Structure 1
Amino acid sequence: MSVTQTAGQHRTETTASAAARIMEHCDELGTHSSMEGGIERVYLSPEHAEVDALAAGWMTEAGLRTWRDASGSRIGRLEGECPGLPALILGSHLDTVPDAGRYDGPLGVLLAIEVARRIAASDRRLPFALETYAFHEEEGVRFGATLLCSRALAGTWTDDLWELRDADGVSLAEAFGTFGLDPARIQDAARRHQDDGPKGVVGYLEAHIEQGSLLEEADLPLGVVTSIAGARRFEITVTGEARHAGGTPYSRRKDALVGASEIVVEIERIGKERDVIATVGQMSVEPGGVNVVPGTAVFSLDLRAETDQRRDDAWQLIRAALDEMATRRGLGVDINQIHEARSVTCAPQLMRAVETGIQQATGTTAEPMRIWSRAGHDAMAVAEMCDIAMMFIRCHDGISHAPDESVLTDDVAVALDAYEAAVWALADQYQN
Structure 2
Amino acid sequence: MPTPNSGQGSTAIEATDLSTASGSAASGPAGAARVVARCDMLKHAPFSDSSDQLFRPFLGEAHHATILQVMNWAVQAGMTTRLDGIGNVVARYEATAPGAPAILIGSHIDSVRNAGAYDGPLGVLLGIDLVARFHSKGERFPFALEVIAFGDEEGSRFPSSMMCSRAVTGALDAEALDILDSEGISVGQALETFPRIAGQELTDHRLDQSRRSIDELVCFVEAHIEQGPLLEAIDEAIGVATSIAGQQRYQVTFCGQAGHAGTTSMLLRKDALAASAEAIQLIENVATSFGEDLVATVGQVDARPGAVNVIPGQVAFTLDIRSGDDGLRKIAAARILEGLGAIAERRGIAVDHDLVQDLPPSPCDPELIELMVEAVRKTGSSGRKMVSGAGHDTMVMSKFIPSILLFIRCLNGISHNPAESVTVEDVDQALDALEHFIRYFPYDPEQAPG
User: Normalization by structure 1: what TM-score?
Assistant: 0.84
1:190 to 207, 211, 234: 211
Change (3 A) 1:330 1:403: same
Partner of 1:347: 365
What's 1:28 paired with? Answer: 41
Counterpart pick for 1:273 among 289, 295, 314: 289
1:159 aligns with 2:177: no
Counterparts of 1:314 and 1:88 in 2: how far apart (Å)? 38
Q: Cα gap change, 1:343/1:247 in structure 2, threshold over 3 Å: closer, same or farther?
A: same
- Paired with 1:77 and 1:33, the residues of 2 have a C-alpha distance of 26
Identify which range, 169-178 or 290-299, moves more after superposition.
Answer: 290-299
Match of 2:188 in 1: 173
Note if contact 2:160-2:357 (Cα within 8 Å) is conserved in structure 1.
Answer: no
Cα-to-partner distance string for 1:327-370 (whole Å, 9 max, x where unaligned): 555554433222222221111111112111111112x5x4x222
> Any conservation in 2 of the 1:127–1:427 contact (CA below 8 Å)?
no
Task: Name the structure 1 match of 2:231.
Answer: 215
Structure 1, 146-155 or 408-417: larger mean CA deviation = 146-155
Matched with 2:218 is: 202
Correspondence for 2:250: 234
* Equivalent position SS for 1:88: strand
Cα root mean square deviation, aligned: 2.9
1:256-306 Cα distance to aligned partner (Å, 9 max, x none): 555443332232222122121111223455677778776655433211111
Q: How many residues align?
A: 410
Match of 1:74 in 2: 89
Shift of 1:21: 0.8
- Do the aligned partners of 1:126 and 1:427 also contact (CA within 8 Å) in 2? no
SS of residue paired to 1:304 = strand
8 Å Cα contact 1:39-1:100 kept in structure 2: yes
Give the match for residue 74 of structure 2.
Answer: 59
Listed as ranges, the matches of 1:331-410 within 5 Å are: 332-362=350-380, 364=381, 366=382, 368-410=383-425
Distance (whole Å) between structure 1 residues aligned to residue 320 and residue 132 of structure 2: 40
Q: CA deviation at 1:95?
A: 1.7
C-alpha distance in structure 2 between counterparts of 1:159 and 1:146, whole Å: 15
SS at match of 2:42: helix
Q: 1:161 and 1:427 mapped to 2: Cα distance? A: 38
Q: TM-score, normalised by structure 2?
A: 0.81
Structure 1 residue ranges without an equivalent (≥5): 1-12
Is residue 2:135 matched to residue 1:120? Answer: yes
Equivalent residue, structure 2, for 1:50: 65
8 Å Cα contact 2:160/2:356 also seen in 1: no
Q: Secondary structure at the match of 2:442?
A: helix
Matched, 1:306 2:321: no
1 CA distance for matches of 2:128 and 2:110?
Answer: 17
Percent of paired sites with the same residue = 39
Q: Which residue of 2 aligns with 1:37?
A: 52
Q: 8 Å contact 1:192–1:385 — kept in the other structure? A: no
Match for 1:19 among 23, 29, 32?
A: 32
Q: Is the 8 A contact 2:221 2:405 kept in 1?
A: yes
The answer for the alignment partner of 1:98 in structure 2 is 113
| Distance in 1 separating the partners of 2:188 and 2:354 | 26
Q: CA 1:185/1:320 → structure 2, altered by over 3 Å: closer, same or farther?
A: closer
